[in-house]
Structure 1
Amino acid sequence: MDIATIGGILLALVSLIVAFSGEGGALGSLVQPTAALIVFGGTIGATVASATMRQILNVGKYLKVAFFYKTEDPLTIIEGLVSLATTARREGILALEEQIESFDDEFLQKGIQSIVDGVDPELVKTMMTTELDYIEERHKAGAKVFELAGGYAPTLGIIGTVMGLVHVLGNLKNVSALGPQIATAFTATLYGVSSANIIWLPIAYKLKRRNAEEVLTREIMIEGVLSIQAGENPQILRQKLVAFLPPKARIAKAKASDTEAGEVDAETI
Structure 2
Amino acid sequence: MDKISLAGLAIGLIAIVGGQILEGGHVSSLVQPTALMIVLGGTLGAVLLQSPYPVFRRGMQMVRWVWVPPVIEQKQVLDQVLGWSQIARREGLLQLENQIARIKDPFTKKGLQLLVDGADPEHIRELLEVDINTFEDEWRQSAKIWDSAGGYSPTIGILGAVMGLIHVMENLSDPTKLGSGIAVAFVATIYGVGLANLVYLPIAGKLKYYIARMVASKEMLIDGLVGIAVGDNPRIIESRLKGYML
String of CA shifts for 1:130-149, please: whole Å, max 9, x gaps: 00001110121012111111
Measured after TM superposition, the shift of residue 72 of structure 1 is 1.7
| Matching residue of 1:216 | 216
- Give the number of equivalent residue pairs: 246
Distance 1:65 1:106, change over 3 A: farther
Structure 2 matches for 1:51-200, cutoff 5 A?
A: 51-103=51-103, 105-175=105-175, 177-200=177-200
- Identify which range, 33-42 or 98-107, moves more after superposition: 98-107
Query: Post-superposition shift, 1:103?
Result: 4.8
* 8 Å Cα contact 2:217-2:244 kept in structure 1: no
Query: 2:198, 2:219 → 1: CA distance?
Result: 32
SS at match of 2:67: helix
Change (3 A) 1:102 1:68: farther
Give the deviation of 1:61 after TM superposition.
Answer: 2.2
**Could you tell me which amino acid in structure 2 is paired with residue 45 of structure 1?**
G
Q: What amino acid maps onto 1:226 in structure 2?
A: V
Q: Matched residues in 2 for 1:136 and 1:196: separation?
A: 24
What whole-Å deviation, never above 9, does each CA across 1:92-119 have from its counterpart, x for those lacking one? Answer: 2222233345555432222112212333
Deviates more, 1:90-99 or 1:215-224: 90-99
- Asked whether the 8 Å contact 2:93–2:116 carries over to 1, the reply is yes
Secondary structure of the 1:243 match is helix
* Structure 1: tracts of 5 or more residues without a match: 250-269
Return the alpha-carbon distance in structure 2 between the equivalents of residues 50 and 60 of structure 1: 14
CA contact (8 A) 2:70 2:210 kept: no
Distance in 1, matches of 2:103 and 2:25, equals 56
Q: 1:64 to 1:113 in 2, by over 3 A?
A: farther
Distance 1:176 1:61, change over 3 A: closer
User: Is 1:111–1:225's contact at 8 Å kept on the other side of the alignment?
Assistant: yes
Distance 1:40 1:240 in 2: 47
Deviations 1:190-235 (A, max 9, x none): 1100000011101111111112111111111101011112221000
Q: Residues 150 and 200 of structure 1 are in contact (CA less than 8 Å); yes or no, is this contact kept in structure 2?
A: yes
Taking structure 1 as the reference length, the TM-score comes to 0.83
Inter-partner Cα distance in structure 2 for 1:191 and 1:73: 38
Are residues 229 and 137 of structure 1, via their aligned partners in 2, closer, same or farther at CA, if it must alter by over 3 Å? Answer: same
TM-score, normalised via structure 2 length: 0.90
CA separation of 1:244 and 1:221: change in aligned 2, threshold 3 A = same
Q: In 2, Cα distance between the equivalents of 1:111 and 1:209? A: 25
Aligned residue number for residue 227 of structure 1: 227
Identity of aligned residues (%): 38
- Residue 238 of structure 1 and its aligned partner are, at CA, apart by 1.2
Moved more, 183-192 or 23-32: 23-32
Say if 2:94 and 2:116, in contact at 8 Å, map to a contact too: yes
> Closer, same or farther in 2 for the Cα pair 1:101/1:68, shift >3 Å?
farther
CA distance in 2, matches of 1:65, 1:127: 29
Unaligned ranges ≥5, structure 2 = none
Q: CA deviation at 1:33?
A: 1.7
Alpha-carbon distance between aligned partners in 1 of 2:114 and 2:61, rounded to the nearest angstrom: 29
What CA RMSD, in Å, does the superposition of the two structures yield over aligned residues? 2.1
How far did residue 73 of structure 1 move? 4.0
